Amino acid sequence: MAGLTKSGVVYDARGLVEPDPEPPMTAEIDGDRAVIDATDLTTRKINLELKRIVYDEGVNDVTIVNPGSKHSLGVGILKRCHITFEGSPGWYACGLIDGPEVQINGRVGWALAENMMSGTVVVEGPAGSLTGAALRGGDLVIKGNVGARTGIDQKGGTIIVLGSAGINTGFMMQRGRQIICGDANDGLGDSMYDGNIYVGGNIASLGVDCVPGEMDESDHEFINRKFEIYGLGTPPDLKKFECGKVLHNYDALEPSERKLIL
Amino acid sequence: MCGIAGIIHRDGPSDMGVEITKMLQSMKHRGPDSTGYALYSEPDDLVTIRFMLAEPKEYGGFGIDERLERGRAEVESRLAKIGADLATIHSDTGYAFRATVRYDGDLKPLADYLEDIPGCKVLSLGNSLEIVKDLGDAITVQEQYSLAGIRGTHGIGHVRMATESDVDLASAHPYWAYPFADVAVVHNGQLTNYHQWRRRLERSGHRFQSECDSEIIAVYLAEKLEGGMDLNTAMKYSLDDFDGVFTYLVATSNALGIAKDEMAAKPLVLFESDDLVAMASEEIAIRALVGREVDTRDPFEREVLTWQV
């Protein structure tokens, strides 16, 4: 039932909070910069305000303070801009973005930058499981550890982890690159189709059809360039892993070969 | 989905009822069906019994008042017969009761004797543990059971999204580890070898209140503890014995532990300071408790951690 409860929260007929699509208009805007204090705002209000500032006000540099581990912050931004989180967002932060450069001065929960198309997300702390799930493009840099299944179903882009990664990193990865500077837990690259995973530390075990590859000059050039861009220092010695292409349902055709057949 | 939370205060008792409510309410989106608490206070000479005589959905039905009255009288009668000297008894809801007794006998016959009464289920027994659970969110249950005034040293809680069993009080967490005093478990996940373990434990003489897979963990750990195993070791064994995806918290009168399965498919975030240990399915619950930005971490796959209170 739609209506206003005694707590003042508005629900729609499906029981969802805040059908009210109006941004709160609480951001402090100063020229090309703006600050949103998320303390007393719900996820929806924070995102409405962020979109208002970026799209309607044309502000290119937004700082969100006190994100309070709220979920789904900064999602669906399809424009080049700078977004800084001073603190830790919760789950599903910066999903479905296409273009922004995001700096997170904190840690993040599960499923950071899910389905990101382009842009960059840099996290100063650790990130939870499913980081970069179905990543399609852009760069994702995590300076701490990451949880399980990092880059699951990754379809492009680059994930750089300065710490260690949990179980099933790169599970069913289809394209793109992952650079794990620390250790990787069991099942690295399990059932991966394509792409490359580089690991600096120990690997508990390789997943099905994930095999060691040979580092060549282009690998080193790529990794050095990414580390330089993000000021990450000298990369560690890395081992390369790729798809063995022996899974029973893998057609073993390169995309160019497949095009030829079609 | 479900959400779990736990707290230990290293510097003495605090407003445990309020604190766990804050954490659980912030995770209402993980499970709106029922909410439960296992609250631990300083051990008392009295044994506290939390029990129910009917499900909430039965309350208000035809003849329920007389049935509850008979049930309560029968409980009092059986307590006297078994040598448990009743100190206090009251109900916040009409169907769920709290009693304190002077009793130094074996808890198993006491629990069995009470549960022999039609409709009676013992939710918890112990010198420091009290399990409170009911349908609805944390604020609803806190107000219903007047938890705001309850102080404690540690506690665990659960918000439930029913998946494998019914939305009722028997299927709500936490579960008391019958018949082991002061042991309780909350769980997020699914155990796929539930029936295998249930049959095995039933053959060992254990009983189950519900069809919920989570109850297995409590009874499993109770059996290990009863055999003399320490909590940490028992939890490590559970990682090999249980199939499925799970993260669970277990509490005893003087300890609290977490265990995460090898797939790490169920979340947990941990915060530790000199005076507080707090853990929850999502960081937002820890923020609801401490009210500021804090450093937290996700326990690793197959990680078992225990803390002494």
Instruction: Give residue B286's Cα distance to chain centre.
Output: 20
How far away is chain B from the Cα of A261, in angstroms, using its nearest Cα? 39
User: Which of B279, B276, B308 shows the shortest CA–CA distance to B11?
Assistant: B276
Report residue B139 as tokens.
Answer: 């604020």
Overall number of domains in chain A: 1
The residues of B whose Cβ lies within 8 A of any Cβ of A are: 262-265, 267, 269, 282-284, 286-287, 293, 295-298, 300-301
pLDDT of amino acid B263? 87
Q: How far apart are CA B155 and CA B32, in angstroms?
A: 20
Residue A10 lies in a domain: no
Instruction: Confirm whether B120 is a catalytic residue.
Output: no
Q: For residue A109, list chain B residues with Cβ-Cβ distance below 8 A.
A: 267, 269, 282-283
A91 touches chain B (CB under 8 A): yes
User: Which ranges constitute the DSSP H helices of chain A?
Assistant: 43-51, 217-229, 255-261
- ipTM score assigned to the predicted complex: 0.81
Each residue's pLDDT tens digit, A1-48: 445 555 566 665 555 666 677 899 999 999 999 999 999 998 989 999
pLDDT of amino acid A1? 42
Q: Is B248 helix (H, G, I), strand (E, B) or coil?
A: strand
Report CA torsion sign: B100, B102, B104, B110.
negative
pLDDT of amino acid B127? 94
Classify residue A187 as left (phi > 0), alpha (psi -120 to 50) or beta. Answer: left
Domain ranges of chain B: 3-43+132-308, 44-127
- Helix, strand, coil content of chain B in percent (nearest 5): 30, 30, 40
Counting every residue written for chain B, the total comes to 309
C-alpha separations of A241 from A87, A173, A188, A212, B127 in Å:
34, 12, 9, 4, 56
Q: How far apart are CA A46 and CA A39, in angstroms?
A: 10
CB contact under 8 A, A69 and B267: no
Each residue's pLDDT tens digit, B61-98: 888 999 999 999 999 999 999 999 999 999 999 999 99
Please report which helix (H) or strand (E) contains residue B304, including its range: strand B304-308
Where residue A183 sits, what CATH number does that domain have?
A: 2.160.20
Under a CB-based contact definition with an 8 Å cutoff, are residues A198 and A241 in contact?
yes
Report residue A253 as tokens.
Answer: 């055709």
pLDDT of amino acid A2? 46
Residue A19 lies in a domain: no
Report yes or no on whether pTM surpasses 0.90.
no
Q: How far apart are CA A151 and CA A171, in angstroms?
A: 7
Classify residue B262 by burial, with Cβ atoms within 10 Å: 0-12, 13-18, 19+: middle
Peptide bond before B174: cis, by omega within 30 degrees of 0? yes
Counting every residue written for chain A, the total comes to 262
Residue A240 lies in a domain: yes
Structural class in CATH, domain B3-43+132-308: alpha beta
Beta partners for residue B247, in sequence order: B188, B260
Q: Which of A70, A107, A129 sits opposite B264 (nearest CB)?
A: A129
Ordered per-residue pLDDT tens for chain B, 309 residues: 799 999 999 888 999 999 999 999 999 999 989 999 999 999 889 999 999 999 988 887 888 999 999 999 999 999 999 999 999 999 999 999 999 999 999 998 999 999 999 999 999 999 999 999 999 999 999 999 999 989 999 999 999 988 777 888 888 999 998 888 899 999 999 999 999 999 999 998 888 888 888 889 999 998 898 899 999 999 999 999 999 999 999 999 999 999 999 888 899 999 999 999 999 999 999 999 998 888 899 998 999 999 998
Q: How far apart are CA B3 and CA B30, in angstroms?
A: 5
CB contact under 8 A, B269 and A109: yes
Give residue A74's pLDDT band: very low, low, confident or very high (50, 70, 90).
Answer: very high
Each residue's pLDDT tens digit, A120-174: 999 999 999 999 999 999 999 999 999 999 999 999 999 999 999 999 999 999 9
Residue A150 lies in a domain: yes
A236 touches chain B (CB under 8 A): no
CB contact under 8 A, B298 and A147: yes
Residues 92-151 of chain A whose Cβ lies under 8 A from any Cβ of chain B: 106-107, 109-110, 125-126, 128-129, 145, 147-148
CB contact under 8 A, A107 and B301: no
Report CA torsion sign: B279, B2, B262, A154.
negative
CB contact under 8 A, B265 and A185: no
pLDDT of amino acid B116? 94
Q: For residue B300, list chain A residues with Cβ-Cβ distance below 8 A.
A: 166, 185
Report residue B294 as tokens.
Answer: 């804090």
Q: Which of B286, B296, B301 sits opposite A166 (nearest CB)?
A: B301
Work out the number of other CB atoms within 10 angstroms of the CB of residue A147. 26
Peptide bond before B32: cis, by omega within 30 degrees of 0? no
Q: How far apart are CA A59 and CA A52, in angstroms?
A: 9
Residue A205 lies in a domain: yes
Closest A-chain CA to B286: A69
**DSSP letters along A141-183, please?**
EESS-B-SSTTTT-EEEEEEESS-B-TTTTTT--EEEEEE-S-
DSSP state, residue A248: T
pLDDT of amino acid A246? 82
Residue A92 lies in a domain: yes
Topology of domain B44-127, per CATH?
Alpha-Beta Plaits (3.30.70)
A17, A37, A69: best to mutate for the B interface, most B CBs within 10 A: A69
- Decide if pLDDT at A248 tops 70: no
A89 touches chain B (CB under 8 A): no
Residue A2 lies in a domain: no
Work out the number of other CB atoms within 10 angstroms of the CB of residue B72. 19
Average pLDDT for A59-68: 96
Question: Which member of B1, B2, B60, B284 is catalytic?
Answer: B2
User: Which of B251, B230, B48 shows the shortest CA–CA distance to B154?
Assistant: B251
Its domain, for residue A140, covers 25-261
Instruction: Give residue A145's Cα distance to chain centre.
Output: 14
Under a CB-based contact definition with an 8 Å cutoff, are residues A45 and A21 in contact?
no
